[in-house]
Structure 1
Amino acid sequence: MKYVITAALALTAAAAQAQSNVQIYGVADAGLVAEYGTPAGNSTAVGSGLASGSRLGFKGTEDLGNGLSAIFVLEGGYNIDTGASGQGGLRFGRQAFVGLRGSFGSVTVGRQYSPYYRAIRDVADPFEDGLAGQATNVMAGNHRMDNTVIYATPELAGWSAEVAYGAGETTDPLAADSHRKRAFSGVLSYTNGPLVVNLGHHRREDALLPDHVRNTILAARYTLGSVMGHAAIVRNRGLGGEVSRDALLGLTFKSGPHRVWLSVVQHDDKSPAQRDARQYGAAYLYGLSARTDLYAAYGHIDNDNGAPFTVGNATDSGNGNAAFNLGIRHCF
């Protein structure tokens, strides 16, 4: 009898394993950051998450049958140099969502990356929003949205789309409307072999005033052998109606364990102040394995007429107009 029970338990465990899958993953990234042109002069420090924010995450799927799956992600950031939590101490400050995926696409609910941000990170920016030359030093990133529902369509003839709505849910007693701080984000994507094109839009209401900011991006990436070209143009509207435009040109080169990233970002301020800026970035990465690499990067920004842009990295927004990074990243 005990053999029958043992066999039944084994079959039950095997069936459960086949229907659901939970993975533990993460990034451990640390290096040296030398900053130049800060208010306190030049400085050197040990930093965490220069190329990719250090993180520990859990993600999983459960097969619900008929092509339908439940999915979830819980991902928290940490500072490897001190052991402290990232994202202001939030336990799962990087991502926290649950949803369903099937032939209709996917619907997810929680704290998530905006579709607009993924257009920058995955298509426009050769630095993939990391290291000193990242595009979001100058361009608005619109990284994460709280209280958000995202619907992603399936791909049809190369076309797909993502739309997101983030409920404001502000509790600030000074806010005139408890629904303020809402956010809307969406991307229309086209993929045809080596070509990827994204048209994205992001709008975020101010938490207190009846005003909003918005950004619209057209981004493209084209792969030709070991070379990948990147380009983007962005139109921005700030609070009060201020208008600016950004343009990006970038290059990714891969050969064996070697990777080179190059980019130039131009910010044109259309206000009378004309606070324009230009960023130049370069990085070299050497892959010790499929999961571990060494990196060096440099970024420099020329700010005109008091423009406020600083050179940061994947975790830190930076304090100066130039920075050099040297470090190691391990993904697990």
Structure 2
Amino acid sequence: MKNRLIALAILGSAAGAAQAQSNVTIYGVVDAGISHENNGSTSVTRLDSGILNSSRLGFKGLEDLGGGMAALFQIESGFSVDSGAQADAAKFFNRQSFVGLSSSFGTVRMGRQVNPVYANNATFDPFKIGMVGDSSRLISFNGSRTDNLLTYSYAANGFRSELQYGFGEVAGNTAANRTVAGYLGYQQGPVDVVVTHQNIRNAGDTGSTEMTLLGGNYHFGWARLYAAYAKEKGVILGTTGKLNQRDLLLGLTASAGDTGTIVFSYIRKTDKALANADATQIAVGYIYDLSKRTALYTSYGQLRNDGAAKYKVATAGATDKVFDVGVRHFF
């Protein structure tokens, strides 16, 4: 009896220690603003959600397993502040949903995760895919997130890297719908650079779309300069159309007082597969931090299409103009 009590006491102490070494964080973003858009055919004023940062609710946790190893997870759901609806009606945890293990040898994660371009947007995009300067309005992120993804990442001495394999899950064909991707980055002092690559095989295993992006920024103290160059080739997913495009991004952020930031970007898309189908986007924004968690923002941008291009418009050749103003809060 005494031995049983001693064993139970030891197990109870071990369980208490394990619980003390694990933690779960609840976090989120609530972002809403007013947008006015004229796409050359129609004009509309909206109350939008997630203009500066996508509105979301997330849970993440880390448990120390001892010996330098830890278990981790993250699940994240997007929602619309203006309506209260899920961002994706078919997926509650539409943003991220993964579990993994980490150690001094790196981190392995399994589940729905961000792709290499999206994961490094803060390195090459001064708008960080927010407001009207969002680089994904012209540069294809190929969905920004990938289902059924197995990743291995490692970071040390300023370098960061990740390899990704997305299971296509097509019966009898392991190549169909498969994703192979990764990135290599380096950040030290004022310099932050990254190269990313992604290859997505189509569902019929008849072709793939490839995306390679080289980008970076340099911090001068009061300002940060950004540049990126991307190449997309192969086939347009879901179609038989040929894909051969180039993207150039130039931008900057500059301090405006102690709590303000001015943002500017220029993006030029060149389509080598279709004639007269290029496009240009110019955008400027301003962010004013009321606190570490709350900010006011505004931005204006124009996306001009050549005669055969239809980016963000209903009629080829039209220009899309957007102005927005809003508030974002982290919790």
Q: Structure 2 length normalisation: TM-score?
A: 0.88
Which residue number in structure 1 is paired with residue 188 of structure 2? Answer: 192
Which residue number in structure 1 is paired with residue 325 of structure 2? Answer: 326
Deviations 1:177-230 (A, max 9, x none): 475211111111122211011011011111235111111111011111121111
Letter in 2 for 1:271: A
Task: Give structure 1 stretches of 5+ with no counterpart.
Answer: 1-6, 312-318
1:219 aligns with 2:195: no
Distance 1:80 1:18, change over 3 A: same
Tell me which moved more, 30-39 or 46-55: 30-39
Distance 1:9 1:64, change over 3 A: closer
User: Residues of 1 paired with 2:170 and 2:38: CA distance?
Assistant: 38
Which residue number in structure 2 is paired with residue 94 of structure 1? Answer: 95
User: Residues of 2 paired with 1:64 and 1:167: CA distance?
Assistant: 28
User: Residues of 2 paired with 1:320 and 1:302: CA distance?
Assistant: 4
CA contact (8 A) 1:103 1:154 kept: no
Deviations 1:235-279 (A, max 9, x none): 111415431111000101134210111000010111241311110
Distance 1:329 1:10, change over 3 A: farther
Letter in 2 for 1:132: V
Letter in 1 for 2:198: H
Deviation at 1:89, TM superposition (A): 3.8
| Paired residues for 1:233-312 under 5 Å | 233-239=229-235, 240-254=241-255, 255-310=257-312
Which residue number in structure 2 is paired with residue 158 of structure 1? Answer: 158
Which residue number in structure 1 is paired with residue 203 of structure 2? Answer: 207
Runs of at least 4 residues off by over 2 Å: 7-18, 157-160, 176-179
Which residue number in structure 2 is paired with residue 4 of structure 1? Answer: none
Deviation at 1:330, TM superposition (A): 0.4
Deviation at 1:169, TM superposition (A): 1.5
User: Residues of 2 paired with 1:303 and 1:28: CA distance?
Assistant: 32
Aligned-partner SS, 2:168: coil
CA contact (8 A) 2:176 2:202 kept: yes
Q: CA RMSD in A?
A: 2.3
CA contact (8 A) 1:228 1:252 kept: yes
Which residue number in structure 1 is paired with residue 72 of structure 2? Answer: 71
Task: Give structure 2 stretches of 5+ with no counterpart.
Answer: 1-8, 236-240
Work out which structure has the larger RCO, using CA pairs closer than 8 Å and 6 or more positions apart in sequence.
1
Letter in 1 for 2:214: L
Which residue number in structure 1 is paired with residue 176 of structure 2? Answer: 180
Tell me which moved more, 256-265 or 234-243: 234-243
Letter in 2 for 1:75: E
User: Residues of 1 paired with 2:67 and 2:10: CA distance?
Assistant: 25
Which residue number in structure 2 is paired with residue 62 of structure 1? Answer: 63
Q: Percent identity?
A: 39
